[in-house]
């Protein structure tokens, strides 16, 4: 077996656990530890059952452990502000799944290469991971003046963190549509739907373009969908680009892999899948350097 880079997850909630199950079969990452603050939490119990080291004393537990090179933070924005500083001082790379955005926004198929040497990267939001690749792909061929995305997720897949701070989603996603997607102006809308059985995450991308070349847009979108599919198998083009004057509309559906969380929560799946994809690229690079 080839050598792998050791990593840890801090925050054993839904996102942390889904990521844990995804990292089990990673080619480049060896998950070493899972860190929480409650020894009796379900997450730490699952981590123990899966043979990982667990700590319930917070991130301090692995500070100084030189073997762990990458830490995935699935806690909260507030906690990450503290963690970011600790990880930086300990020479660990942080992959931030919270909305803290200490480091640059990263959407793997769009701008990973630009941020390959960053010591802290932020995974934006679920809606951002699902839609920004499409905005960027259209921008490449048609010059996006305005991009608006609508993410509809099942109520069941929106945790208390998202609910109590829903503005964080709209604001972060809007900014990343501009910074990463390349739109001159970005807007994000999120809708929670309580239907039972829960709906699968769906995303709509509306853009206004300077150059509505139908074939170029179609090709760019289809090509990008297949790139995202490489790390999010449940990512699907629901309605191919509808071009109406200078307006282009694309509809997507994201079904989760069902590793830990149910399949309808594609919104959580795409976050952990993107974090894993970014983590693997970083690990690969670290291995090349060795």
Partner 1 sequence: MGKKIRIVDTTLRDGMHAVAHQFTPEDMAEIALKLDEAGVDTIEVSHGDGLGGSSFQYGFAAASDQEYLEAVSKVLKRSKLAVLLLPGIGTQEHLEMAAQYGAKVARIATHVTEADVGEQHIKLAKKLGMEAIGFLMMSHMVDKEKVVEQAKLFESYGADTIYVTDSAGALAPNEVRERIEAVKKAVSVPIGHHAHNNLGLAIANSLAAIEAGADIVDGTCKGLGAGAGNAQLEVLAAVLNKLGYETGIDLYKIMDVADDIVAPKMKRPQVIDKNSLSIGYAGTYGSFLLHALRASEKFGVDARDILIEMGRRKTVGGQEDMIVDVAYELSKKNQMIDKTGLQIG
Q: Does 202 bind partner 1 (CB under 8 A)?
A: yes
> Judged by CB under 8 A, which stretch of 31-39, 93-101, 166-174, 254-262 contacts partner 1?
166-174
CB 221, min distance to partner 1, A: 15
Q: Is 206 a residue that touches partner 1 (CB under 8 A)? A: yes
Using CB atoms within 10 A of its CB, is residue 187 exposed (0-12), middle (13-18) or buried (19+)?
Answer: middle
Specify the residue, 34 or 271, whose C-beta has the smaller distance to partner 1: 271
Q: Does 116 engage in binding with partner 1 (CB under 8 A)?
A: no
Catalytic residue (one of 35, 110, 126, 277): 126
Q: Does 185 bind partner 1 (CB under 8 A)?
A: no
Q: Judged by CB under 8 A, how many residues of this single chain contact partner 1?
A: 31
Question: Is the CB of 8 or the CB of 199 nearer to partner 1?
Answer: 199
Instruction: Please identify, using beta-carbon distances, which residue of 55 and 264 lies nearer to partner 1.
Output: 264
Q: Which of 39, 67, 82, 194 binds partner 1 (CB under 8 A)?
A: 194
Minimum CB separation of residue 183 from partner 1 in Å reads 12
Q: Which stretch binds partner 1 (CB under 8 A): 41-49, 115-123, 149-157, 216-224?
A: 149-157
Which one of residues 37, 86, 189, 216 is an interface residue with partner 1 (CB under 8 A)? 189
Check if 126 is active-site. yes
Residue 222 touches partner 1, criterion: CB under 8 A:
no
Residues labelled as active-site residues: 126
């Amino acid at each position: 077996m080839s050598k792998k880079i050791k990593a840890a997850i801090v925050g054993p909630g839904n996102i942390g656990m889904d990521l844990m199950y995804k990292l089990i079969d990673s080619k480049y990452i060896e998950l070493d530890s899972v860190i929480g603050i409650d020894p009796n939490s379900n997450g730490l119990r699952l981590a123990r059952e899966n043979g990982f080291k667990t700590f319930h004393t917070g991130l301090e537990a692995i500070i100084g452990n030189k073997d762990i090179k990458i830490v995935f933070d699935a806690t909260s924005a507030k906690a990450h502000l503290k963690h970011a500083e600790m990880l930086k001082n300990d020479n660990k790379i942080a992959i931030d799944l919270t909305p803290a955005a200490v480091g640059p926004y990263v959407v793997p198929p769009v701008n990973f290469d630009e941020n390959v040497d960053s010591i802290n990267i932020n995974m934006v939001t679920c809606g951002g991971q699902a839609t920004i690749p499409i905005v960027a792909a259209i921008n490449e061929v048609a010059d996006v003046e305005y991009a608006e995305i609508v993410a509809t997720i099942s109520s069941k897949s929106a945790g208390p963190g998202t609910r109590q701070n829903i503005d964080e989603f709209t604001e972060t996603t809007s900014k990343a549509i501009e910074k990463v997607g390349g739109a001159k102006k970005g807007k994000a809308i999120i809708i929670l739907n309580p239907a039972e059985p829960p709906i699968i995450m769906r995303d709509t991308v509306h853009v206004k373009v300077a150059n509505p070349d139908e074939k170029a847009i179609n090709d760019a979108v289809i090509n990008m969908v297949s790139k995202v599919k490489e790390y999010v198998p449940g990512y699907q083009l629901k309605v191919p680009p509808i071009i109406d004057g200078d307006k282009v509309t694309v509809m997507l559906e994201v079904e989760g892999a069902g590793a830990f969380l149910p399949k309808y929560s594609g919104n959580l799946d795409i976050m952990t899948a993107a974090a894993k994809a970014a983590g693997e690229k970083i690990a690969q690079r670290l291995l090349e350097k060795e």
